Structure 1
């Protein structure tokens, strides 16, 4: 029950109280038929509202893929972060993240954290922001089965732990139309360390539309037995800038 309460709280926070929001939404779709029959879709959205002292960021992502044998990927995530700027470059933050990934070995992972952040670079061409903090993670693992015999290897279980959280976001604009964006997050606890890095090269086609080539790496140090530690994803998406 608590995972649904956690997710519902993030969804409720995602409803803007006022209209002065900006951000980006992107999506990609691949469908093949004939000798192969595959479907792949992914989508991301992030919106931000910023004032002199506060910054509120909300977003989410989803991934689905299937082939002739059935689903091969099914994941969705939602997140939010509220920053209070106590100097020009430094801020305190509170953040929450919730995800469900059918093929990660985890039924769900939900984290609430707080800490301190700093804007290392904030020029028109280069922006770099890092955070460091601590929080609490709730998670549930899936049952693991032997691929050959089908026997149960390990039963799923619910647990929670203290985690240390760090992020590093970099955005560099090479030209008026080309930019590189990299987002890194790590949540480290006694039972498992989760890390994700999203790299994207974006080329503007109009004032609000861009084409993005992305590469994402997700890693769990201690997934349930018979599940891989690392997942990668390469995408070509159409990006829409929300102004």
Structure 2
């Protein structure tokens, strides 16, 4: 599985520079341990943005895979997109969509479409701070939950839907010419469940297009299915390829 992630990122990175109007970045990290401990962990992220006149369109994907001698321990992928229309230099309307498949969260999938308003609170070469707020519609499906000791069915999975509040905060600040702090936060709050995710990373530029990033991600569902933890964390060390 890990070998499938890296060729995808490298292929996208090779093709993207031919489209000079695009900006974005691809990230990939891989850890393989053998001997007394047999583990494999891989994660990838890829995001593109295109701006023209008053419009900005964004698209991205992310994937995570981990395994040990007992089998797969993590498997998640996500796709997302957003279109912004700028009313003024600092205020914009957005429409967004997100789909997530996480085999170890208790959810078969979570899919959300949303719309609302955004504001560029700070927009300089050194610091960028953008927030959005709006409403959305979420569709999700939970998995059957079983007792780990007896195998007895505790709760049947099923499909659900909810109206949610959707908010984001994106912050990026250049500490030096080569070091940046990046933090991205999203919340989808509904009556059945509230989902939070915060991704923080420190990125150090190595060349004009390559960088190293150390990141820490926290994901939280307030009401996951029975038998599943509310919070997942992930620490990553990734190679970053920037498209400028």
TM-score (norm 1): 0.92
Paired with 2:185 and 2:217, the residues of 1 have a C-alpha distance of: 10
Paired with 1:229 and 1:50, the residues of 2 have a C-alpha distance of: 37
Paired with 2:151 and 2:209, the residues of 1 have a C-alpha distance of: 50
Deviations 1:132-173 (A, max 9, x none): 000100000011111111111101000111011000000000
Paired with 1:168 and 1:240, the residues of 2 have a C-alpha distance of: 23
Other structure's SS at 1:148 match: coil
Paired with 1:210 and 1:176, the residues of 2 have a C-alpha distance of: 12
C-alpha displacement at 1:197, in angstroms? 0.2
| Correspondence list, 1:148-163, <5 A | 148-163=149-164
Paired with 1:200 and 1:56, the residues of 2 have a C-alpha distance of: 23
| Correspondence list, 1:21-36, <5 A | 21-36=22-37
Give the RMSD, CA atoms, in angstroms.
1.1
The answer for the alignment partner of 2:47 in structure 1 is 46
Q: 2:234 aligned with 1:218, yes or no?
A: no
Gaps (5+ residues) in structure 2? 1-15
The answer for the alignment partner of 1:189 in structure 2 is 190
C-alpha displacement at 1:31, in angstroms? 0.4
| Correspondence list, 1:169-208, <5 A | 169-208=170-209
Paired with 1:52 and 1:208, the residues of 2 have a C-alpha distance of: 26
| Correspondence list, 1:23-172, <5 A | 23-172=24-173
TM-score (norm 2): 0.92
C-alpha displacement at 1:242, in angstroms? 1.2
Paired with 1:99 and 1:196, the residues of 2 have a C-alpha distance of: 12
Gaps (5+ residues) in structure 1? 1-15
The answer for the alignment partner of 2:241 in structure 1 is 240
Paired with 1:221 and 1:117, the residues of 2 have a C-alpha distance of: 25
The answer for the alignment partner of 1:3 in structure 2 is none
C-alpha displacement at 1:80, in angstroms? 0.2
C-alpha displacement at 1:51, in angstroms? 2.2
Paired with 1:228 and 1:108, the residues of 2 have a C-alpha distance of: 16
Deviations 1:96-134 (A, max 9, x none): 000000001100000000000000000111000000000
